[in-house]
Amino acid sequence: MRKILVTGGCGFIGRAVCDELLAAGHAVRAFDALIDQVHGDGAPRMPDAVETVRGDIRDMDAVRAALEGVDGVVHLAAEVGVGQSMYEIARYVSGNDLGTAVLLEAMIERRVRRIVVASSMSVYGEGLYETADGERRGAVRRRPEAVARGAWDPLDAAGRPLVPVATDEEKPVELASIYALNKFMQERATLLFGEAYGVEAVALRLFNVFGPGQALSNPYTGVLANFAARLANGKPPMIFEDGEQRRDFVHVRDVARAFRLALDKPRAPGHVINIGSGDAYTITAVARLLAEAMGVPDTEPEILGKARAGDIRHCFADIGKARELLGFEPERRLETALGELAEWVLSTSATDRGAEMRRQLEERGLVS
């Protein structure tokens, strides 16, 4: 049995990772700041077998203590939200960049065998595209003036629409938000640290994670949680742009299993690895599927026809590397797993703060 420290261990993904590690026979210590935006007024219920420590990832003394007797680290602690990162910049840089720096510096004295850090598909910016002639385009960025007039899809030099294809890890990074910049710093710093100090380091680039237990009252969390909170309060899902943007949705239990595999598999260290489902869905289709699962199939989403700063058009995962290095295969598809999510949402209280989120972005000129 090994002891694993899970930073952000009381969060949505963190709790699933703790469960997965316990089931595999590991001892688990969860370290979490329990911030109000994520957890509301109360701490989540954790398994009795998990040693839970409340602390700030930027507090060196607290982090050193949390690392005592630990063999491996899963680093999930982070401020999460593309839109919010564009105006609470100091908060995001402090929590994500400084927090990771403190953790890595503490690990110089309290060395572990392996660390797995949660990165994000946001580091890609736009996903991978092909031209009409089949040529790959990995450095695509939409022009703000084109997006402002509703020209949502990227075009090639001849003005023809580019075709989105599955994004692999070889695609160049194209950072479109402060959050994306944070996540790229976290993964690169972790891999550089591992190489310098002989610590096995892995970065998992997570796509859109969904499942029961997500923070329904945090408007900057995953799109499915936002849609669920709206539907639970009798309101339609609110969709930016035209709803035809495409994303990859991966179940939280599959993500948790990926972290366990990344801690164990001998070929994983030194790599960044996509963790997704390998499937692509339009956001409108997802909203309709969720409305059906929640028993309100006639609820049509509200299409805003406006874009948020930092948003991208299409990005979905090529998971070939995860299959090769981790033996990872997603077990839960969106279409068959939404019933479980809907049942959980309807059994809990969900505060809809979507309108508040939109207002905050619009007041700062971050919606066009």
Going along the chain, which residue ranges are E strands?
3-7, 27-32, 50-54, 72-75, 114-120, 129-130, 136-137, 163-164, 200-206, 208-210, 238-239, 246-247, 249-251, 272-275, 281-282, 302-303, 314-315
- Tens digit of each residue's pLDDT (9 = 90 or more) over 145-181: 888 888 999 988 888 889 999 999 999 999 989 999 9
Per the CB < 8 A criterion, the answer to whether 207 and 277 are in contact is yes
Q: In this structure, what token pair is assigned to residue 63?
A: 């982090």
> Of the given ranges (4-18, 29-43, 332-346), which has the lowest mean pLDDT?
29-43
Q: Are 80 and 221 in contact (CB under 8 A)?
A: yes
Domain 3-363 maps to which CATH number in 2.60.40.1840, 3.90.1150.10, 3.90.1480.20, 3.40.50.720?
3.40.50.720
86-129 pLDDT, tens digit per residue, is 999 999 999 999 999 999 999 999 999 999 999 999 999 999 99
List residues with catalytic annotation.
179
pTM comes to: 0.93
Which tokens sit at 356? 């508040």
Of 37 and 103, the structure prediction assigns the larger pLDDT to: 103
| 208 within 8 A of 314, measured Cβ to Cβ | no
| Weakest-pLDDT range from 102-106, 214-218, 351-355 | 351-355
* pLDDT at residue 37 is higher than 80: no
In 3-state terms the chain splits into helix, strand, coil percentages (rounded to 5) of: 40, 20, 45
The C-alpha atoms of residue 79 and residue 327 are separated, in whole angstroms, by 29
